[in-house]
Structures are given as structure tokens and as C-alpha cells.
Amino acid sequence: MQDSLEGPRTRRGQRDGALSLPVLLLNRYFAPVTIIPARRAMTLLYAGSAHAIDDAGEAFDFRGWRTLPVRDDDDRIGVVGGALRVPRVLHLKDYDRTPENAVRLTRRNLLLRDGYECQYCGARPGVRGLNVDHVLPRSRGGGDTWDNLVISCHACNLRKGRRTPEEAGMRLLRRPHRPRWSTTAHILLAARRPFREWQPFLHGR
Ligand SMILES: [Zn+2]
């Protein structure tokens, strides 16, 4: 939120919480793009780049949105002169791109792909007990790619060392591959608590 704007400036103490809530971002064709924090959603709404969509599917610009009452079960952002309802869905009026379905190669996404399970022994010691293993070790030219990285427990990682699974007499539970998640699935995975207001846009496509 830019302080120079006479917009939804927040009161102290309310900065976190409501402003971090996830908001579903739609492109101009109402296809889901990603989720963003409410903080950024309010900036886009205030700047006029986006409309907020209420639970009845009606679109509002910032001026319209700020006239809506904050109901009991709404999340609210305190602003100068009152409170604003936190939008759940934002529609980007001029953005017509559809996100690529490519999933970023990160430790977190590897954990999701492999189900938090050591791909050698099947152990599930929790996030801290797991690390990312190069199937063909880096020292031997193995790259950081979806088909060369797997989640493994520390014990298997140590045991394997700088060997291939075959050399170490170890076997992968499944062959690693690039995940084929859709954007929708990715959004649902990323959000701890998908809001019911998202459902019309995430399903039936
Ligand atoms: Zn293991």
C-alpha cells in the first residue's frame, strides 16, 4: 500500500492478518491466474487495475467496494474512516494471459510431488527429516531437473552418497517426473483454506 495514496491505509496492528489473506486473481476471461495476498489485491483494486467480485458474482471498483457493508463473517481491513471488506476474488480487467501450467522446481513442490515421502525407503519423517537428493549425483553431471531430483530421508541420502541408486543397491519407489498439475490444482495446494467464493472459478473448466 503506498502511503501517498489516499486509499485503504491500514491502522496499526491490523497490518498482518487480514492483509495477508489469500485472494484469487482472475484474468479478463475469468480464468484463475494465481492467488495474491489481500494487501496486493487492495493495491490493484485501488489503482483501478482490477474489480473485486463479491459472493453474488457482482463486480465492483474501489469506490463501489468501499460502500459495501462489512458483514459479521467478512474479514475486514481497518481504513481511515471505517472498515473495508476483504475481497476473495479479484478480476484483472486487462490481463488476458493464461498462466502456464509449468510448476516451478522448488523444494516445496518436490515435497508435494513426492508426498513428503522418502523415494528410496518410503519413510515419512516430516519436512525436517527430508532433503532433496540428486539421483545422478551433481559431481557426476546430474542436473537440477524434475527427473533427477527426489525427496529422500537423511539416512538414505547418507547411504547413497555419491553413487547412483544402482551402484548403491537402492531402488526408487517411482520414477521422478515433472508434475502435471493444473493451475487450479496448484492454487488449491498453495492455499491452506480455499474460500467457497473461489469455487465457481476453480471448477467446471
Ligand atoms: Zn529413506
Q: Are strands 22-26 and 89-92 parallel, antiparallel or unpaired?
A: parallel
What is the 149 CA–ligand 1 centroid distance (Å)?
A: 14
Judge whether 32 and 187 are in contact, CB under 8 Å. Answer: yes
Coarse DSSP helix, strand, coil percentages of the chain, rounded to the nearest 5 percent: 30, 20, 55
What is the 69 CA–ligand 1 centroid distance (Å)?
A: 54
What is the 106 CA–ligand 1 centroid distance (Å)?
A: 20
Q: What is the pLDDT along the chain (205 residues), one digit of tens a residue?
A: 333 333 344 444 344 689 989 899 998 988 888 888 999 999 999 999 999 999 999 999 999 999 999 999 899 998 888 899 999 999 998 887 766 656 778 898 888 888 899 999 999 999 999 999 999 999 999 999 999 999 999 999 999 999 999 999 999 999 998 876 666 666 666 666 778 888 888 754 3
Query: How far lies 141's CA from each of 38, 97, 145, 148, in Å?
Result: 43, 36, 12, 11
What is the 128 CA–ligand 1 centroid distance (Å)?
A: 13
Instruction: Report pLDDT for 78.
Output: 87
What is the 133 CA–ligand 1 centroid distance (Å)?
A: 11
CA distance 108 to 114: 10
Judge whether 198 and 88 are in contact, CB under 8 Å. Answer: yes
What is the 203 CA–ligand 1 centroid distance (Å)?
A: 37
Give phi and psi for 93, each to the nearest 5: -65, -35
What is the 130 CA–ligand 1 centroid distance (Å)?
A: 8
Taking only the tens place, the pLDDT of each residue in 9-22 is 444 434 468 998 98
The C-alpha cell that represents 65 in the structure block? 467496494
Q: Considering only CA atoms, which of 125, 113, 117, 8 is closest in space to residue 62?
A: 8
What is the 109 CA–ligand 1 centroid distance (Å)?
A: 18
CA distance 134 to 153: 13
What is the 179 CA–ligand 1 centroid distance (Å)?
A: 21
In the block, which residue shows the cell 474489480?
Answer: 51
Give phi and psi for 68, each to the nearest 5: -70, 140
Query: How far lies 120's CA from each of 162, 178, 199, in Å?
Result: 15, 18, 37
Judge whether 32 and 182 are in contact, CB under 8 Å. Answer: no
The architecture (CATH level 2) of 107-168 comes to Orthogonal Bundle (1.10)
What is the 152 CA–ligand 1 centroid distance (Å)?
A: 5
What is the 136 CA–ligand 1 centroid distance (Å)?
A: 16
Q: Where are the domains of the chain?
A: 17-100+182-202, 107-168
